[in-house]
Structure 1
Amino acid sequence: MNSMEQTSNTVSKEADFLRALYQDWSDRMVANPNMTIADFRSLFDEWEKPTLEPEGVTYKSDTVGGIDVVWAYPIGCDKSKVLIYTHGGGFAVGSSSSHRKLAGHMAKALGVSSIVLDYRRSPENPFPAQLEDAAAVYQALLASGIHAKDIGTIGDSAGGNLAVASVLKFRELGLELPGFVIAFSPWLDMELTGATLESNDATDALITVPLLQGMIAMFTGGDSTKVRDPLANPLHADFNGYPPLYINAGGAECLLDDARRLHDRALAAGVQATLSVVDGMQHVFPFLAGRAPEADKEIERIAAWYKTLQK
């Protein structure tokens, strides 16, 4: 189906906020090679900084399916339609706090509600705890009377992996599948074979192979056989019968090849799949929602895509 390369000669000065934040994190990680997991989590909770607060969105803390969550309710939204948002952060860091505003922007653009999961994180809870938590929330939403077709999974980076893999988990559990999937800069390949890991190393201000290797060790609990498990590495999955899929990535990021390969695998299985790559953008550039035109235009494209699914 669709593959869009959004090219421009310049990156907006507003978009540089994200690159500068990532560079600051990278510098701090280099300066403190003995960072604890608590240090990492504090660092990555700064991920909310690039996102401006969306206007007209309210939030509510809740527990759904035994999982702590934060709801985003845009004023006038259709609460019978839900985005299940799984946050990024290498399965180990990130939270509803870091991702609440981005989930709010997405819910507002689509006119629906969003639920941000504080799923169990590694290393304390390795794979597949995260997918079990996503499945528990999905089953609770279905039990509450929300229709599967009115639910979408959405996530970024490792949370993009979870947005993709959770649907595979739902299928394994014999559940009706959700209506659609949205993945921002998904990190899918636990074997780290993507060519852009090397070719974009100089332009990606955050992602490095050593950083990913550390996240993989925590996620898999040190079990190297899990890096090829389709629920941990969806590039090995069977996508037959999969819901419509929207994938985006930044042209400057190391994980670009993960997005491209997911798109190729989905198309090969007959899935309605769209890939949007925005030139010069960093990892999970929609974090710039409300701040940079590149993010706002991308969210508009996703909203237009979502509307075509509702017809």
Structure 2
Amino acid sequence: MIDHATVESVIARVKAVYGSWRRDTSVAQMRTDWDQLFPATGDASVEPVECAGVPCQWIAAPGSRADKAIVYLHGGGFQVGSLASHRELMAELSAAAGARVLGVAYRLAPEHRYPAALDDTLAVWDWLRAHGFRPRDIALAGDSAGAGLALSTMLALQDKGQELPAVAFLMSAWTDLTASGESYETRAADDPIHQRPMILAMARNYLGRAGDASHPLASPLMASPAQLRGLPPMLFQVGDRETVLSDSEAFARKAREAGANARCEAWPGMIHVFQQFPAELHEARQAIASAGQFLAAHLGAASNRKTSP
């Protein structure tokens, strides 16, 4: 049963941050505010590492396997978000999947526009391969913009003729930078934060004037069936209240129609990247546990979590 009061409390925390921003609020201040919204706790170890010039961190829950890697790409509209804001979520995922997580601090807009984030992620992939990780030992995971980036990374690897990771886990995936999904209308009254004008503004900030929002490496939803057919097993999780609900549902549907293994879970009453609030929301704990089992099954690791709250 959904604890609506707790969900509304989480929403109020997020809205307080957004509501404090004004036209003259600097990007640096926005990033600091966002990081402070998600304090990290727990006993996971954190090891900074530079991967082909890209700052990263190994996040390892006790007992997690070092021969498996979950490459994590954080959300934040390609403008905010960091390894600090997502450390707790990465630690929870490491514990649930029984594998280390490699968080990637890819470059952000507006200082670094598309395709800088994609270039950084591909560089990290090459670094992992050069350091002995086989594709079957690597998963990609991410939330929101980071989930879209994970999908773009797989499409880019496929374009290069490279092997793909074993599995992908995508939360509240932003797959369509044109914001054409029907949920921008059907969920507009239910989503407390993200509306189409905001989404389109973030897309412009990321792409710049010359960027093409319909290109598959910017909007993975635009990929052809031939591009989708070869993708690895994918699990999408999305809140039923989200305006970006269609981004996950439509991508998973197109991927299945193309012959890929894609499952989409729409969680009733949940908001954008609800998994970032495991201390408050039992649905977040359930979702992470389920994702951990999914990742472990495809990586050959041992999941450490059950799906009960």
| Pick aligned residue for 1:235 from 213, 221, 240 | 221
1:132 aligns to 2:119 (yes or no): yes
**Partners in 1 of 2:27 and 2:296 — Cα distance?**
40
The aligned residue for residue 61 of structure 1 is 48
Check the 8 A contact 1:25/1:206 in 2, yes or no: no
Tell me: CA distance 1:270–1:303, structure 2 relative to 1, closer, same or farther (3 Å). same
Q: In the alignment, which residue of structure 2 is the partner of 1:22?
A: 14
Q: How many residues align?
A: 297
CA offsets, 1:180-231, max 9 Å, x none? 111100111111111211222222222122221221111111225x101100
Q: Which runs of 5+ in 1 are unaligned?
A: 1-7
- Which residue number corresponds to residue 169 of structure 1? 156
Partner of 2:142: 155
In the TM superposition, what is the alpha-carbon distance from 1:307 to its structure 2 partner?
3.9
Aligned residue identity for 1:105: E
Alignment match, 1:4: none
Does 2:269 correspond to 1:280?
yes
Aligned positions of 1:80-99 closer than 5 A = 80-99=67-86
Give the drift of 1:34.
Answer: 3.1
Deviation for aligned residue 1:306: 2.6
Deviation string, structure 1 residues 46-72 (Cα, Å, up to 9, x no partner): 3414xx623x31111111121001110
For residue 268 of structure 1, what is the aligned residue in structure 2? 257
Helix, strand or coil at the partner of 1:232: coil
What displacement does 1:251 show? 0.9
Is the partner of 1:121 in helix, strand or coil? coil
Tell me how far apart the structure 2 counterparts of residues 200 and 11 of structure 1 sit (CA, whole Å).
Answer: 20
Partner of 1:3: none
Distance 1:43 1:278, change over 3 A: same
Structure 2 unaligned blocks of 5 or more = 301-309
In the TM superposition, residue 289 of structure 1 has moved relative to its aligned partner by 2.0
Rounded to whole Å, the distance in 2 between the matches of 1:144 and 1:201 is 45
Considering only aligned residues, what root-mean-square deviation do their CA atoms show, in Å?
Answer: 1.6
Partner AA of 2:85 in structure 1: S
For 1:254 and 1:25, how far apart are their aligned partners in 2?
19
Cα shift at 1:12: 5.0
Partner of 1:115: 102
Deviation of 1:172 after TM superposition, in Å, equals 2.0
Identity of aligned residues (%): 29
Instruction: Determine if contact 1:153/1:178 at 8 Å carries over to the other structure.
Output: yes
Equivalences for 1:170-185 in 2 at 5 Å?
A: 170-185=157-172
Task: State TM-score, norm by structure 2.
Answer: 0.91
Moved more, 192-201 or 278-287: 192-201
The answer to whether the 8 Å contact 2:172/2:239 transfers is yes
Q: Does the aligned pair in 2 maintain the 1:191–1:228 contact within 8 Å? A: yes
CA distance, structure 2, for counterparts of residue 230 and residue 245 of structure 1: 17
Q: Identify if the C-alpha distance between structure 1 residues 247 and 110 changes in structure 2 by more than 3 Å, giving closer, same or farther.
A: same
Please name the residue that 1:258 is paired with: 247
Cα distance in 1 between the residues matched to 2:8 and 2:45: 28
| Offset of residue 85 of structure 1 | 0.6
**Corresponding residue number in structure 2 for 1:48:** 38
From 282, 288, 293, give the equivalent of 1:299. 288
8 Å Cα contact 2:141-2:147 kept in structure 1: yes
CA distance in 2, matches of 1:53, 1:99: 11
1:39 aligns with 2:29: yes
| Alpha-carbon distance in structure 1 between the residues aligned to 2:214 and 2:163 | 25
Give, in whole Å, the separation in 2 of the partners of 1:70 and 1:17.
30
Contact 2:107 2:117 in 1 (8 A): yes
- Asked whether the 8 Å contact 2:14–2:37 carries over to 1, the reply is no
